[in-house]
Amino acid sequence: MTDLVTYEDLIAANKRKSALLVVLFALFVAAVSMVLGLAIVAMLQPRALAAVDWRQGLLVGAVAAGVSLVIALIGFYRGPEMILHVSRARPIRHEDDPELFNVVEEMAIAAGIPMPKVYVIDDSAPNAFATGRDPQHGIVCITTGLRHKLNREELQGVIAHEIAHIRNYDIRLMMLLAVLVGTVAMLADFYWQVLRYGPRVHRRDGRRDGGGIHPLLFLLAILLALLAPLAAQLIQLAVSREREYLADASAVELTRNPLGLASALAKIDADPDVLEVANQGTAHLFIANPIKKFEARARTIFSSHPPIQERIRRLRMLAG
């Protein structure tokens, strides 16, 4: 319990990274908007490009940064709702599943956090996730498939893993990532549309080759449109892999029983079902990668989750 890195350090690091993420997001959107603005000008009026004032460019960037901060703010407060909505999760009450509620409450007590809200996803694929902006607004969500597969001990392990994410403020960083990465993907898509169809709509002669556009600018624009989602994806992966090992370890700290979680992970691993409501934007939230085909194809670099076998091995090592 008294190692060099305590969960308090994790919390501080997560809060710091969350703030940094929002700042980077704003800068990124500002930069993309400025390039996009220039590209549009270049496409519509190649000759006007020379007349563009850099102060106008900065203004565009500042407005874009402001808008993206507002998006981040909305995401901060409404993000969990959006995530629950796209995952088609529904809230349940104590009477619906007393055992699940009791396990969640026990783990919340062990972690010293308020009782989180409990949601379920009606899907046979076994998975679970936690979200929220802080432990006071924590949410635990489990698929009905996983719920029915586990005995109390295994359920305790899974819930402890999710509660650990909540206590460590992983939920804040991962929720912001889901929301902001989603926004970047949308933006890149929009940007791409403008690049492809913009000139065709506005030019009277119907030509749709590069025309007067500065080739370097065009190249930069394409590069950005291609790289933005990829970069977002890579950030997401970098953020979540070590986090799963840490949450596993924290879960053991709460339950004092590594075998419950290990056995639950083995059951999840053995199940071939794919969780349909998960997507690239929310995959990193889940306890096990919901997109298994993806994991099989690119096991190491592009997986948002460490291999389950390795997690089970580490847990069994803790049991001695």
Residues found near another protein in the complex (CB under 8 A): 1-2, 6, 8, 98-99, 102, 105-107, 109-112, 151-152, 253-254, 256
Nearer to another protein by Cβ, of 2 and 300: the residue is: 2
Would you say how long the chain is, in residues?
Answer: 320
Nearer to another protein by Cβ, of 236 and 257: the residue is: 257
Instruction: Tell me the closest approach of the beta carbon of residue 319 to another protein, in angstroms.
Output: 18
Instruction: Tell me the closest approach of the beta carbon of residue 268 to another protein, in angstroms.
Output: 20
Q: How far apart are CA 287 and CA 122, in angstroms?
A: 17
Instruction: Tell me the closest approach of the beta carbon of residue 312 to another protein, in angstroms.
Output: 23
Instruction: Tell me the closest approach of the beta carbon of residue 93 to another protein, in angstroms.
Output: 14
Cβ atoms of residues 160 and 258 within 8 Å:
no
Give the C-alpha distances (Å, rounded to integers) separating 156 from 105, 116, 130: 10, 15, 14
Instruction: Tell me the closest approach of the beta carbon of residue 144 to another protein, in angstroms.
Output: 18
Q: How far apart are CA 110 and CA 157, in angstroms?
A: 12
Nearer to another protein by Cβ, of 47 and 256: the residue is: 256
**Cα angle vertex 142, ends 140, 147, to 5°?**
130
Which amino acid belongs to residue 120?
V
Nearer to another protein by Cβ, of 106 and 269: the residue is: 106
Q: How far apart are CA 307 and CA 181, in angstroms?
A: 23
How far, rounded to the nearest angstrom, does the alpha carbon of residue 37 sit from its chain's CA centroid?
28
The tokens 């802080």 sit on which residue? 134
Catalytic hit among 81, 95, 162, 276 = 162
Helix axes 170-202, 7-44, angle to 10 degrees: 0
Give the C-alpha distances (Å, rounded to integers) separating 10 from 24, 133, 150, 252: 20, 15, 29, 16
| Both structure tokens of 261 | 């979680």
162 an active-site residue?
A: yes
Instruction: Tell me the closest approach of the beta carbon of residue 172 to another protein, in angstroms.
Output: 20
Nearer to another protein by Cβ, of 94 and 299: the residue is: 94
Nearer to another protein by Cβ, of 91 and 98: the residue is: 98
Please say whether the dihedral angle defined by the alpha carbons of residues 28, 167, 303 and 84, taken in this order, is positive or negative: negative
Backbone angles phi, psi at 87, to 5 degrees: -85, 0
Which residues are identified as catalytic?
A: 162
